[in-house]
Amino acid sequence: MTTALLKQSVLLARGTQTLGDLQSTSGKKGGKASSFFGASVAVHARSRFLSGAAVCRRVAVRDNANVASRRFGLSRATAECSSTQVATDDGEKAYEVADAEELLKEHGACGVGLIASLKNESTHKIIEQGLTALGCMEHRGGCSADNDSGDGAGLMTAVPWDLLDSWQQENGRGPLDRSATGVGMVFLPKQESDAEAAKQLVESVIKAEGHGLQVVGWRQVPVNESVVGPFARVTLPSIQQLVLSVPGLAPDDTERELYVLRKLIEKAVARAIAAEAAAGGTPAAEHALNDLYFCSLSSKTIVYKGMLRAAVVGTFYADLKNELFRSPFAIYHRRFSTNTTPKWLLAQPMRFLGHNGEINTLQGNLNWMVSREPTLTSPVWRGREADIFPVVNLAASDSANLDGVAELLLNSGRRPEEVLMMLVPEAYQNHPTLSAKYPEVVSFYEYYKSQMEAWDGPALLVFSNGRTVGASLDRNGLRPARYWRTNDDMLYVASEVGVLNMDEATIVSKGRLGPGMMISVDLHTGEVLSNTAIKRQVASAHPFKEWLDKESRQITPMAFAPEPALSPDEVLRRQNAYGYSSEDVVMVIESMAAQAIEPTFCMGDDTPLPVLSARPHLLFNYFKQRFAQVTNPAIDPLREGLVMSLEIALGRRDNILDVGAEHANVVRLASPVLNEAELQELMDDQQLAAARLPTFFDVSQGVDGALSRGLDALCAAADAAVDAGAQLLVLSDNADQLDATRPAIPALLAVGAVHHHLIRSGKRLQASIVVETAQCFSTHHFACLVGYGASAVCAYGALETCRQWRASEKTQKLMTFGKLPSVSMEQAQLNYRKAIEKGLMKILSKMGISLLSSYCGAQIFEIYGLGAQVVDRAFKGSVSRIGGLTLDELASEALTFWAKGFGTEGKGKLENAGFLQVRQGGEYHSNNPEMSKLLHKAVRQGEQTAYTAYQTHIATRPVNVLRDLLELSSGTRAPIPLDQVESAASIAKRFCTGGMSLGAISRECHEVIAIAMNRLGGKSNSGEGGEDPMRWVELEDVDAEGRSPTFPHLKGLRTGDKATSAIKQVASGRFGVTPTFLANADQVEIKVAQGAKPGEGGQLPGKKVSPYIAQLRNSKPGVPLISPPPHHDIYSIEDLAQLIFDLHQVNPAAKVSVKLVAEAGIGTVASGVAKANADIIQISGHDGGTGASPISSIKHAGGPWEMGLSETHQTLLANGLRDRVVLRVDGGIKCGNDVLVAAAMGADEFGFGSLAMIATGCIMARICHTNNCPVGVASQREELRARFPGVPADLVNFFVFVAEEVRVGLASLGMSSLDELVGHVDVLKARDVALAKTSSIDLSYLLTYPGLSELSSSARIAQEVHSNGPMLDDALLRNPSVIAAIEQGKVVQLATPIVNTDRSTCGRVSGAIAKRHGDSGFTGAIGITFKGSAGQSFGCFLAGGMNIRLIGEANDYVGKGMAGGQIVVVPSKAATFEAETATIIGNTCLYGATGGRLFVRGCAGERFAVRNSNAQAVLEGAGDHCCEYMTGGTVVALGKVGRNVAAGMTGGIGYFLDEDDTFSPKVNREIVAMQRVVSPGGQEQLKSLIQQHAELTGSAKAATILAEWDKYLPLFWQLVPPSEANSPEAKAPAAEEEPVAALAA
């Protein structure tokens, strides 16, 4: 680098302008992932596939000299400095928004912890303990494809002054002035010359900064490169420490000066890179200065981190083993990144935080922070605010950005605890204790919720600024956080217990952080602050309540209009003009007005994407909702809605660095769904000074350019209104008279355009946006408008439609005759609002977002079918990979609707567009009656000519899916004879059927599909709900008529048929998942998401829960069964890795598949799933799904499998992970051509769902959700099931036809097998086909050829099951006495130590028992006593006959899926802490248990006994959501529990001791009754369980209760769901049936 360029960059950095005067260098939008490692490195990943801990601890990997020398992707320094501003042509600053394409490349999770001396004693022991604890959480991290390059690990400590003084002495200098010295931990370019140039730049910035800053020296940090993995070594930086004299400043000012200095250096780096590139030198992306990165620059803390495995951090950094390295605290972090591209800078801890979790609202958080920059000012910066901008980095990870915002607030004078309360607030709104005892804390949160949108998502945050060290948990408690304190005044916090080997006698207290809780230590005073103390201290600093009472206003709900405002004819005209169809009115709006819930439908979405359709669509339909899968969990809006809120504030938002009454001057809305009166109230608010902006565009001079001009005028009007003082902009398409030449701008386009225009101009926070529109009527529409910046919506057209419906004679007659629920005009509109609000909660929850205020502007959508001109104008930063409509084309589509309001076409009635149901002349449906008839004829006749007719129908249909735009081309290859192509039988083995549950479909259909797939050698999928053991046996009793006494309801059987499903599904409900179910699986599928409703749970209506279904699911007949939206043991990628580990333990011979749904970013997620040790990844399209699902979910969530498969295949290949996993695809696959296209895109196996049902008799009546299927395919009604027409041969015929079609296709391509085709996307090309709407579809993403993996597809499929490596269970199973017990029914007693890395203990032993004896046939007994700290999933899937005792403590998931036996957990006898209040087992224990008993002397974490169906448990306390979704069993709690007890509990009984009368507000009474224990049966059951608990655990609490039984019995509450109300345990004796006395108030 030249001296001139250095000087230029320094001068630029010292100026007031920010980096934003240069164009941001984010990655190319839509570009494919590509490998920079080469095939040679990928070879290392294939020899043996082990899970995270096994991979990183046990596989030795040799170095590889052939890896490329330059990493791929966004560079470090460029990413660090990525600007939030760009320069406009006139020199004005334009603020830039975040790009979802970049954000979706990184997801992560991890294990974290802290160690702190309450005496503030700096010791080397703390460093040693930090390294030990870090190593014991290796299994929570991930490794790259080389199995040796860790995803990241590191420590944050105090600056090691003694070590640095030793270095000073070695260099002939005296000790450092510790109060006036800063130390930077710096990653420099690897080449020495580049590193020197970088250091020269840094020193130039320091010199220009002045203020007495002087470089003391650069210290080369001693490292051991031999322990770095091959991938990580490619980008290994030179690591040095910058020691800097910072004289004459107070400690806080020193930190600020160093913060400013780092920001100036970042800008100088970016300017130097850009200047050299502009001068024709090194391209920006390749510049060595990109590798300059400050891990830390502080006078208090330092960060040692890297792309390392946890176990080698101390070996790599020799300093950490040096006795002179001393600190009073250590924060440690082990990362699991779903993106495997090595990035040293993304290792953690960051500069203030160590973050375990995922920020779901990141894009919105970044955009709002960008918008906030013009307002940020504070006296502490002394006018230097411009030097510290940008605050956020639009290309960095969520953790890095959260850390960056926290740094700003800290250095602006906020306490660390206050910062985290602002950024990650707890769920205070439904917290009875908080509201009653600590109202000042509520006021704090109320004040800040309108100032700072929450950074929402699962998060355990450990933090330190050098004086305070602490930890905080997210509002939902979705990450584990355990803490303990010892008698030598040490505090420990960690993601797991057992990370340090400690004498139990030294531990004085144990606990956990619950949802929203925090703990901190003031190192200077030694004070440990509890959650309550922290919150009260922070909240008492200012009179927040006084400010709120004085300044804020609340819009209370107002009455709806009492009668229609328009005539029916005028309403009809406007409905036509604004794009309504009769389906929208009848099936959506009127249904919500009548029922107050969003309508449901079934059979998925088989209509074209809007951009492919010949019919006009509302703009909303081009947007697909994104959803959580794997890296973060969905939230349960039904059962855990207490953490959610739709509240939002309107008005100007000012400087977040300031605190004062004026910031409370906002209007608060309880809901974003407004009626006309509420909108008028806002218009009349004088302080808001609302401006109504009409949203119409003029087409009188033609369509070309009209919409663009209309948007220009609208944005100019918004500018003028804001400049004139308006704090509320109302964008309105309401007019007294509609003008044929002035159609309405699509409401979503108007909102997005104004929102982004105001962001770019720096005015966004000066005003809120509200929409008054007739175009919005569904939950998806509301979500889109809010997601792109609207704070509230008045859907006046939908409300008027509700009024017209209620006022109509037809409706009144139907109500009179009881055909419709009787509702008033007011109630109809209120019902509509309630339905929309419930739907919004569901949409937020599926992305794991709790707060509408955080969802607002977060743009959590993917776009299909809009071009760059539209996206850049109104939806900047959203993913839109296939291009599509221009503004003019969009204008034409809008005009098509508008014209209907002025012509004769729509005067009589609304058109039925047929978007939901097949209609003559309506939208095309691929599953149409003609297709079904042709398929039925083909499979029943078995004739090729009949199948050819079906094939022709599919080939000549209108363009329906993306693959219809593609065709296969052999290129230069000549066709080959058909007899040279692999057999149909071989091809058919790659076919699978979808996970359709027995319950959603009939027993007949389910079993026929399974038998057919077993005949073919393919695989059927059990779906959720278990499997009858009789299906695991081959049939030997089939008669000549094809009938069997074993399955008398089936026909067309053969001897040797087997009705088992090779793939056994584990869904979130865990219904029927027992050790025997798992042990008899060929494959186990974890259903993370499903195509028809990704991000949501499942529901089986009570009328479908027959006695047979209830038996299989361990539930009660007639009681609805709900599967939670999340798997409660999968809140992150490392949690998924643990579940995969569990399943591999129970059945080491079964491959584990993970089912995902296509969406942008799925490649990154799939990389994590591959690293989590899955054998198979399934990519499902949005068009799949059978049973009931909300209409908005069917239509507006998930993406095409073509996009998801392409991204997954390309990303796995680029990251060297492709050969670890088999890729399976499903979703609307109908024929051999679909199989060929999917194979070319990278699929190894192919799934068929709806087509398999149609082949067995389904006629697409589309009433699956009603239990009234006319042909018995999807009904549990006996008389309808008797009509089921299918036989196994029908489905066999279909798959043989498809396989033969594949053979013909392969022959025409000149290929002899599918192996030759898989991954060869180069055989695909765009078809010459004209679309009705646009010619701008971009298929390049689908046609990108990333090269081939090394293994063939068949070789991947044939690979052995991935191994967990040697575990404790393997040693147990080698024990001769255990073998004798299992094989001969002997009795054995053992004892063994256990540590936290011993995971899923007893799972494999239970699997061995279940495989041999089933769930209840084991007659032996195996008793094992473990001593120590058990790893995750202790006693998972425990089999009957196993009695295990743990002396010590355990982590999450104790007793997960246990089916029998007994688990006892007690603390060590040496323990001095109070056992009854200590947390000794983790979160989500007893999840999905189907039997057995659990006794715990101590407390459990959150979500105890979720979906327990038959286990009994006694414990001393638990966290939030205890007994959620329970369907059977018994739980006894002898101490305090958290909120939301018994939510969704439909079976079983709970007993809860309430000594201080605080239990009642914690109970969710939606289902359960709350009563005292009045029945003798209940009293006997309770006492018996407590007696057993006392005997087994020695519980002092149990002993006290038993000794004073008459005193304690009246203090117990009994929770009873309706299904148990008449049980002996719950029903009071006849003489005592006084409900008023028995029930709680």
Q: What are the residue numbers of the active site?
A: 110
Report the alpha-carbon distance of residue 597 to residue 583 in Å, rounded: 16
| Three-state SS annotation for 793-860 | EECHHHHHHHHHHHHCHHHHHHHHCCCCCCCCHHHHHHHHHHHHHHHHHHHHHHCCCCEHHHHCCCCC
Dig out the tokens for 410 from the structure. 């800290």
Q: What angle do CA 696, 700, 702 make, to 5 degrees?
A: 100
Say how many C-beta atoms besides its own lie within 10 A of residue 557's C-beta. 15
Beta bridge partners, 486, equal 490, 507
User: Which pair of tokens denotes residue 497?
Assistant: 């217990």
CA atoms within 13 A on the CB side of 1203: 27
Tell me the residue type at 1637.
Answer: A
* Nearest residue to 326 via CA among 522, 524, 163: 163
Residue 142 CB: number of other CB atoms within 10 A? Answer: 33
The pairing of beta strand 879-885 with beta strand 1189-1190: unpaired
The SS3 assignment for 900 reads helix
| 1066, two tokens | 């584990």
Distance CA 393, CA 395 (A): 5
- How many CB atoms lie under 10 A from the CB of residue 1330? 6
Let me know: does 1265 contact 600? Beta carbons within 8 Å: yes
Q: Which positions ≥6 away from 1309 have C-beta within 8 Å? A: 968, 970, 973, 975, 1236, 1317, 1323
Q: Write the DSSP symbol of residue 1629.
A: P
CA dihedral 832, 838, 844, 845 (to 10 degrees): -160
Report the half-sphere exposure of 1296 (CA within 13 A, side-chain side).
Answer: 15
CA-based end-to-end distance of the chain: 77
| For helices 1201-1214 and 1232-1240, angle between their N-to-C axes, nearest 10 degrees | 30
Residues 6+ apart with CB under 8 A from 1168: 107, 142, 336, 337, 338, 339, 630, 631, 1133, 1136
Residue 378: count other Cβ atoms within 10 Å of its Cβ. 16
Angle between the 192-209 and 251-278 helix axes, to the nearest 10 degrees? 120
Cis peptide before 349 (omega within 30 of 0): yes
Report the candidate in 1032, 999, 1128, 987 with the shortest Cα–Cα distance to residue 1501. Answer: 1128
Strand partners, 187: 239, 293
Q: Coil, helix or strand for 770? A: strand
Contact 1461, 1510 (CB under 8 A): no
No. of H helices and E strands in the chain?
56, 52
Angle subtended by helix axes 1376-1384 and 1403-1413, to nearest 10: 30
- Tell me the one-letter amino acid at 435: S
Q: Write the single-letter amino acid at 154.
A: G
C-alpha to C-alpha distance for 542 and 536, rounded to whole angstroms: 11
Largest CA distance in the chain: 100
